Amino acid sequence: MKSADRRVGVAVDFSKGSMKAVQWLVDNIARKGDYIILLNIRPPGKYEDNQMQLWKASGSPLIPSKDMSDPDLMKKYGVKPDAETLDIVMKAASQKEFMVLMKIYWGDAREKLCDAVDDIPLDCLVIGNRGFGKIKRAIMGSVSNHVVNSAHCPVTVVKEQRE
C-alpha cells in the first residue's frame, strides 16, 4: 500500500485525553495524502432517531470534514464535537495536506474500535488512555488494553498525564 493511501484512525470522545491523542497523531504520524478518520463511539442505548437506527450495526457513513461543524447534522448522530479538537486536526490537515473524516459507531467502545479497524480498514489506530489505577481498571475494564490486544493493526496508546 502506498503511503498516500494510508487510513489512520484516532478514537475521539472529545475529552482532554482524546484531544491529546489527536494532537499526538498530527504531530507524529499524519502526512500528506493520508486519510485521518476520527472514530467516535456513542454508548449503547435506545436511540429513536432514524439515522442512528439505520447505522447502529455498521456505524455511520464516513462524514467529510466540512460537515463536522454542522450542528444540525451532528445532532442527528447524537454527537457534539469539541471545537478545539476539530481546530487542531483541521489546521494540521490544511498544513500537511491530509483528508479528515469522521465515523460514528454505537455500542461498546472496545468492540466498536476493533470493528472499525477491520471495516474501514485502518492501517493504524491512535487511542487515548485515561490512566485509571489498577482498581478502577479492574472494575471498569480498559478500552485501550482490549484494543491493543485485539485489533488487527498497530495501535498507539497516548497516555493522559495526571496532575
- Would you kindly state where each structural domain of the chain is located, as residue ranges? 3-159
Q: What region does 59 belong to: left with phi over 0, alpha with psi -120 to 50, or beta? A: left
For residues 17 and 12, give the distance between their C-alpha atoms in angstroms, rounded to a whole number: 9
For residues 137 and 135, give the distance between their C-alpha atoms in angstroms, rounded to a whole number: 5
Greater confidence (106 vs 46) lies with 106
Residue 138 CA from chain centroid, whole number: 24
The CATH number fitting domain 3-159, selected from 3.40.50.620, 3.40.50.11310, 3.40.1350.10, 3.30.360.10: 3.40.50.620
Per the structure block, which three cell numbers stand in for 87? 481546530
pLDDT of 1 reads 45
pLDDT reading at 68 higher than 80? yes
pLDDT of 53 reads 63
Question: What's this model's pTM, rounded to 2 decimal places?
Answer: 0.88
Give the residue carrying C-alpha cell 485521518. 36
